[in-house]
Structure 1
């Protein structure tokens, strides 16, 4: 599912592909990575290690030498020279997507188990227009948890935004438009548009971040959103 959301020049790897145990992923961490996560609970350390194992495999497929992927501000990963990427882990799915900096400016990927958000969360993460759209979409097609999809799109937006601005982006700071292109009850897919509502200036010297475009999909019990930003600003 993740690969279907990404262009050919972005490499996506899920932990299940690696044939590694959780213990092996922990042992494969660089000392600086292990130090950063040393005080976390075991489940968090395993997630941290597993997605980095995925990222290093993706880097190897891009012919980029492996290296540590440390945790920077707001928990965002700091990537070795030559690549940009995004990490996601949820409900037993752990994955990374990585692309070359020559062709990819920023990436955002978020995967969630396909289920409704807890009571009250939709109101906390959405603009009034977004919440109204979710309500209408539920009435038209109730097999998709549109509220959870909206959450993944918000998270993918933030993951794309923060490395280029080093500024917080709240749930109310981007307006998400979700356009279904295929829904059959067990799977679904479509496009997303994320319009930034705050100061769009970036710190990397590239164009302002006024709008992101991406794709979303539902399959095999997970729902995901992905954004790929090109150096010229296009998706």
Structure 2
């Protein structure tokens, strides 16, 4: 599903649910010590899927620990992202000499809880979403915005090591091309010596889930496709 909006060179492993053979490495156990069952299952599955993606890249499966911001700590030479929502898990990986960063997100395709949109969107974004809804009412644009901002954050954070608030990026969606742009207002990642003040992404909706992805290529022009679950 999410592979459809990712570029060549990015390997994806995904699963609708939790495979019975998914297991944590011993050193990963601390990441879910005391966690409820649902959290443990999603944490375990996305790491299991990331290891499958590593194997597809010809690499050995290793433990994936979490950083201070709960971000996955990838082996040297790899970049990646993981996501989970009810009924769906995925991991996307690539070699660091090909892509500088990846951010993926999946969310249930349903309206956000009342009051959430005002907390994550600017007045301009809310106005544009209303226009998109008038033309494409079958899309829950508020859920799409939330997911896309998560994908932006997950692509942005590994390159800057700084948090990015919901109001520190301004998104605009192209409903025809299933694409979006994100203008970041808090610094910018620098890749290959050039600042990336605008990220681009892609999205699609399938079977009750909205998928978003952002990839930043190592070349001057970033390649992006449009899911902060880590």
Does the alignment reach a TM-score above 0.5?
yes
Higher relative contact order (CA 8 A, sep 6+): 2
Partner of 2:227: none
Residue 201 of structure 1 and its aligned partner are, at CA, apart by 4.7
Secondary structure at 1:178 match in 2: strand
Alignment check: 8 A CA contact 2:66 2:72 kept: yes
- List per-residue Cα deviations over 1:69-103 (Å, max 9, x = no partner): 11112111000122111000001101101111110
Partner of 2:198: 211
Once the two structures are superposed, the pairs formed by residues 108-127 of structure 1 within 5 Å of their partners are 108-127=103-122
Residue 33 of structure 1 and its aligned partner are, at CA, apart by 0.6
Segments of structure 2 that go 5 or more residues without pairing to the other structure are: 224-230
CA distance in 2, matches of 1:84, 1:114: 27
Residue 38 of structure 1 and its aligned partner are, at CA, apart by 1.6
Partner of 2:11: 11
Q: Normalised by the size of structure 2, how large is the TM-score?
A: 0.91
CA distance in 2, matches of 1:161, 1:68: 23
Once the two structures are superposed, the pairs formed by residues 180-199 of structure 1 within 5 Å of their partners are 180-181=175-176, 190-199=178-187
- List per-residue Cα deviations over 1:31-66 (Å, max 9, x = no partner): 111122122111111110100000000110010111
- List per-residue Cα deviations over 1:94-119 (Å, max 9, x = no partner): 11011111101000001111110111
Count of residues paired in the alignment: 222
What root-mean-square deviation, in Å, do the aligned CA atoms of Structure 1 and Structure 2 show?
1.7
Alignment check: 8 A CA contact 1:15 1:53 kept: no
CA distance in 1, matches of 2:164, 2:193: 18
Question: CA, structure 1 residues 205+39, in 2 after alignment: closer, same or farther (shift >3 Å)?
Answer: farther
Indicate the larger mover: 35-44 or 48-57: 35-44
Alignment check: 8 A CA contact 2:103 2:213 kept: yes
> Of the candidates 181, 188, 197, which is equivalent to residue 200 of structure 1?
188
Larger helix fraction of residues? 1
List structure 1 runs of 4+ shifted beyond 6 angstroms. none
Alignment check: 8 A CA contact 2:156 2:189 kept: no
Residue 16 of structure 1 and its aligned partner are, at CA, apart by 4.3
